Amino acid sequence: MADGTRNEGKNDNNRSAEEAALSARLQRLGERLDQKGTSRPVETGPSGPRTDPSALARGFRLSTELVAGVLVGAFIGWALDKWLGTSPWGMMVFLLLGFAAGVINVIRAAGVSPTGKPGSGR
Amino acid sequence: MADPIHQFEINKIATLGHIGGHEIAFTNSALFMAITVVGIWALLVGGSSRRALVPGRMQSIAELSYEFVANTIQSTAGKEGMKFFPFVFTLFMFILMANMIGIVPYTFTVTSHIIITAMLAIMVFLTVIVYGFYRNGLKFFRLFVPSGIPIYILPLIVFIEVLSFLSRPISHSVRLFANMLAGHITLKVLAGFITMMIGSLGIVGWLGAVLPLGMVVAITALEVLVAFLQAYVFAILTCIYLNDAIHPGH
């Protein structure tokens, strides 16, 4: 964003003051977003993808991560049982594995894990 | 009381033809998808037509949305992620515009149907797999094999990592769909309380209806926030998943 040129050009802006105020607000918002977007990777680096600027966005992520892991585990277990006739062992094992996967998802989504992903820098 | 689910009904507007005995219809969902695309087109073309040094409102919105998505990609997937800018920007703008249009009364919310969000999520999932193998070859499997894990629990960890990977499109799609669905049902139920109270309780109902009316106003404001946040969460998760395809096992 050409901030300097935009500020200079504002002086010879003959449009209504309301419009100027709005674009100034939008520009300030953009600058704040710029700061948030660029200051995060300094903390975490490009390999730690946890750039959630608002806690609410992060909260929305958490709500489904665990459930998705359990569902996928249960489905794979059910499908294996159906295919191999190993009922109920596939369901039992994969439901637990799915639960573990869900917990890992949540931990990563919450950014608790220092690396964000396993294997990075450990 | 109005049926709160009625708003999600798919209605046929016109029949386009038949493929293998299956009817291909132009539905209200397709209509609102088209409106969404036209809206994005109008916003971006209208915003970039004047190309003023001092941006007007439209140009500011267009520039800010571009920079917002570009910064999101660069901060999560790095410079190499900018290759996927058109993809992520399209997803972000489509979901944002569809969610925002859905808040307007009498419109249809495209993203409140899981088939739409699941298709978007599967598109991201397949892009990650195809590009991951194209770029890294078999090294892409390192995504499932964390380093520094003792060999005797490695098989277990690999299973869990694969399950975690497979659960991505599900959480990716269900999150957007469920939030939009739940928000719109809540709005409809609360709005139904207003008409119920006024219809059945007379003057007391008029006074009492102020409460649900206030709730509807407040939740509408919350829904605007959710509409934006869900589009943002979808876009940022797309970036995080693409980052895995670009740098697996980092």
Mean of pLDDT over chain B = 89
A3: distance to nearest CA of chain B, Å?
10
Lowest mean pLDDT among A10-19, A102-111, B239-248: A10-19
Contact A23 B64 (CB under 8 A): no
What tens digit of pLDDT does each residue of A31-86 get?
A: 877 766 554 444 343 444 444 456 677 777 787 888 899 999 999 999 999 999 88
Give the residue-averaged pLDDT of B190-215: 87
Give the residue-averaged pLDDT of B145-166: 87
Beta strands B12-19 and B22-27: pairing type? antiparallel
CB-count exposure of residue B42 (10 Å: 0-12, 13-18, 19+): exposed
More confident residue, A81 or A117: A81
Q: How many residues does chain B have?
A: 250
A and B: number of Cβ contacts within 8 A: 150
**Contacting residues for B9 by C-beta, under 8 A, at least 6 apart:** none
User: Which residue in chain B has the smallest CA separation from A18?
Assistant: B57
CA distance B40 to B96: 10
Is residue B245 within 8 A of residue B132, CB to CB? The reply is: yes
Check whether B205 has a pLDDT greater than 90.
no
Bond from prior residue into B248 cis (ω within 30 degrees of 0)? no
Q: How far lies B22's CA from each of B19, B31, B79, in Å? A: 5, 20, 45
Residue of A5, A72, A108 to mutate, interface with B, max B Cβ within 10 Å: A72
B127: distance to nearest CA of chain A, Å?
18
Q: Give the tokens for residue B20.
A: 């293998």
CB nearest to B171's CB, from A38, A51, A65: A65
Give the residue-averaged pLDDT of A24-29: 85
Is residue B6 within 8 A of residue B192, CB to CB? The reply is: no
Give A65's contacts in chain B (Cβ within 8 Å). Answer: 167, 171
Residue A115: pLDDT band with limits 50, 70, 90: very low
Is residue B69 within 8 A of residue B92, CB to CB? The reply is: yes
What tens digit of pLDDT does each residue of B75-96 get?
A: 888 888 899 999 999 999 999 9
Q: Give the tokens for residue A60.
A: 């929305």
Lowest mean pLDDT among A75-84, B191-200, B216-225: B191-200
Q: What is the CA radius of gyration of chain B?
A: 22
Task: Select from B184, B180, B209 the least CA-distant residue to B196.
Answer: B209
Give the residue-averaged pLDDT of B192-202: 85
Is residue B176 within 8 A of residue B234, CB to CB? The reply is: yes
Give B250's contacts in chain A (Cβ within 8 Å). Answer: 47, 117, 119-120
Q: Give the tokens for residue B85.
A: 């800018």
Give the residue-averaged pLDDT of B143-147: 82
Q: Give the tokens for residue B201.
A: 């309780």
Residue A14: pLDDT band with limits 50, 70, 90: low
Lowest mean pLDDT among B44-58, B100-114, B227-241: B44-58
More confident residue, B238 or A53: B238
Tell me what ipTM this predicted complex has. Answer: 0.75
What is the per-residue pLDDT for A41? 41
Is residue B164 within 8 A of residue A105, CB to CB? The reply is: yes
User: Which residue in chain B has the smallest CA separation from A32?
Assistant: B68
Residue of A65, A91, A94 to mutate, interface with B, max B Cβ within 10 Å: A65
Contact B167 A71 (CB under 8 A): yes
Lowest mean pLDDT among A1-15, B117-131, B225-239: A1-15
More confident residue, A74 or B21: A74
Give B160's contacts in chain A (Cβ within 8 Å). Answer: 97, 100-101, 104
**Contacting residues for A115 by C-beta, under 8 A, at least 6 apart:** A47, A48, A121, A122
Contact A122 B146 (CB under 8 A): yes
Give the residue-averaged pLDDT of A97-121: 70
Report helix, strand and coil shares of chain B as percent, to nearest 5: 80, 5, 15
Q: Give the tokens for residue B248.
A: 């697996």
Give the residue-averaged pLDDT of B35-49: 91
What is the per-residue pLDDT for B50? 80
Give the residue-averaged pLDDT of B48-58: 82
Is residue B52 within 8 A of residue B61, CB to CB? The reply is: no
